[in-house]
Structure 1
């Protein structure tokens, strides 16, 4: 059974678990939070981490999180009930405090942070590429420029043998068939990464559509989650969509190479080219960066960089009400950014350097009931 298939089975169970939680007390009032004193001020050393916490959000890192949280439960005894519902849903549930942490491939805006209470920390867990996946019978390799890709999703280029595509693929037998565009129907960080790039390379896209976890798509049909888009592209001849790279490789879906202009070079998405894009980006102190919006095509020392690349984050609160819950969230975040990195599939970029150091500072700063949540 593939990693994606195992995750789907796990996600079904987690969704039921989260439904049961929603019918009961609020997250931090649930029974079973062991170790908290009955009264008085909590002492950090006397309180054990909660045995179960809830999270929701991004599908981009879901295959990784299923492995990481399984290992966390086995090694540390902390069960993480993670529901892969998309970054938009994760931000909403985090803001509404129906989960203990959120997860997103799109950094929260200043307005969203204010709505969530103002003490949100973004802890980067992994990086990766988003690729234009396609189903084009008889065509094994496809080259596109950013401008042509934007025109396809704008509905300006509507057939596979359009001269704009043919110029970039002179050796391909492009069919005279309409392009079936597939996009996300849910609030999505993968969408954010993708449309940030389209906004960077196409003035028309920036002016008419813009960016965000949800946009008003000019054309195409929607599917829910990375897995939904991957399935629809796989099942629909002459289609094009976009997916996190791991979903494309796991499902054996071809994906296009990208270039700034028709002369190339055309860059293929892989861990090296995605790593180069991340390394070339200037990461701010709050870790909220849109790498694809920078359209990075050249990394350190002239390395080819794949531009549609981004980070994904755990969304945590610097201050929480319940010490046991806070300890468990802090431990889960630390595990994901340290021991959990070994579970990252080949298509994900591990976190390191300054990005990791800032994340460590964030986790160490977490507090509840006047006590630190993370213990070295």
Structure 2
């Protein structure tokens, strides 16, 4: 992938896009990733004042985002899971990431505060597969000497339906746990042997606080907004790290962007001492056929403006902006 070292080209493309955008108001329709909804809404509210572009975005889930754009029912789809190459070709779809962010593992344990509990990928996999059923299990205790673990059953909460969070979690666990890879694999939906399904990160964030002994996974902004108790995970470098903007950024910076076809970079379990292991980009899927030419151009104006002006908003919502050279490469693609 050819990378441009400067953002001057990106700014030029934004200027060209924005000039026409100010002449008339346009509404674009998007659906998909719930993970992306907070930042897309923030960008929309800030951008409409400058460009006249208005966004109607429905956080329906990554699977629906992919299906809707393939069927031509939306101006763009949004997915935390990169689309297969065959589907990109089939639908004549342009794919690019917009921001990255992390999923936190959250718990509701009496007497345990945020980032006091530590787990490895093997232990987390055994919890989510139902092999570890109590919080005072010896395997958890051995990772947490000195921490008073409650003598209670584990209440597992997982994302029901197609979920980018499930995909990111399962991708990480499949890399780090052979048992998980053989039994569960990677997917937006999984055949969970135990636990109860909730509606994505929102469901995890609202159900965990009222379910004693629970463990779940949720996009980090939901964990922060709902004051959830997060845990530390052991990363690829063997260090226990807590979820934060800094550890997400470390994962983004250490990823192999250059060899990722269609920008479909994998940010899970990346190298680096500070890298959080469950990080994902979120992708935009834009149909490029002639029947969508007008709306596709408007979609690209929207995200071109966001790349040039939206980094501070992204950071305030616990996302990580893309590295400048990657944004410049994407902007070149959009400009074509």
TM-score, structure 1 as length reference:
0.78
Aligned pairs for 1:113-262 (under 5 A) are 113-115=88-90, 117=91, 119-140=92-113, 141-260=116-235
Match of 1:271 in 2: 245
Instruction: Report the CA distance shift for 1:305/1:353 in structure 2 as closer, same or farther (over 3 A).
Output: same
Task: Give 1:288's match in structure 2, choosing from 264, 277, 284.
Answer: 264
Structure with the greater relative contact order (CA < 8 A, sep ≥ 6): 1 or 2? 2
Q: CA deviation at 1:323?
A: 3.7
Task: Give 2:318's match in structure 1, choosing from 347, 354, 358.
Answer: 347
Aligned pairs for 1:14-53 (under 5 A) are 51-53=26-28
SS in 1 for 2:262: coil
Q: CA deviation at 1:46?
A: 12
Aligned pairs for 1:78-93 (under 5 A) are 78-93=53-68
**For residues 187 and 309 of structure 1, what CA distance do their matches in structure 2 show?**
18
Q: Which moved further from structure 2: 62-71 or 355-364?
A: 355-364
Q: CA deviation at 1:327?
A: 2.3
Listed one character per residue, the Cα deviations across residues 192-231 of structure 1 (whole Å, up to 9, x for unaligned) are: 1111001111112111111121121222111112111111
Q: Structure 2: state its 5+ residue gaps.
A: 1-19
Q: CA deviation at 1:305?
A: 1.0
**For residues 59 and 153 of structure 2, what CA distance do their matches in structure 1 show?**
32
Q: Provide the alpha-carbon RMSD of the alignment.
A: 2.2
Task: Give 1:314's match in structure 2, choosing from 278, 284, 292.
Answer: 284
Task: Give 1:356's match in structure 2, choosing from 313, 324, 327.
Answer: 327
TM-score, structure 2 as length reference:
0.87
Match of 1:15 in 2: none
Instruction: Report the CA distance shift for 1:255/1:187 in structure 2 as closer, same or farther (over 3 A).
Output: same
Listed one character per residue, the Cα deviations across residues 31-86 of structure 1 (whole Å, up to 9, x for unaligned) are: xxxxxxxxxxxxxx899676111000111121111111112222211111000011
Instruction: Report the CA distance shift for 1:215/1:114 in structure 2 as closer, same or farther (over 3 A).
Output: farther
| Bigger Rg, which one | 1
Contact 1:271 1:347 in 2 (8 A): yes
Match of 2:9 in 1: none
Match of 1:24 in 2: none
Contact 1:123 1:362 in 2 (8 A): no
Contact 2:158 2:195 in 1 (8 A): yes
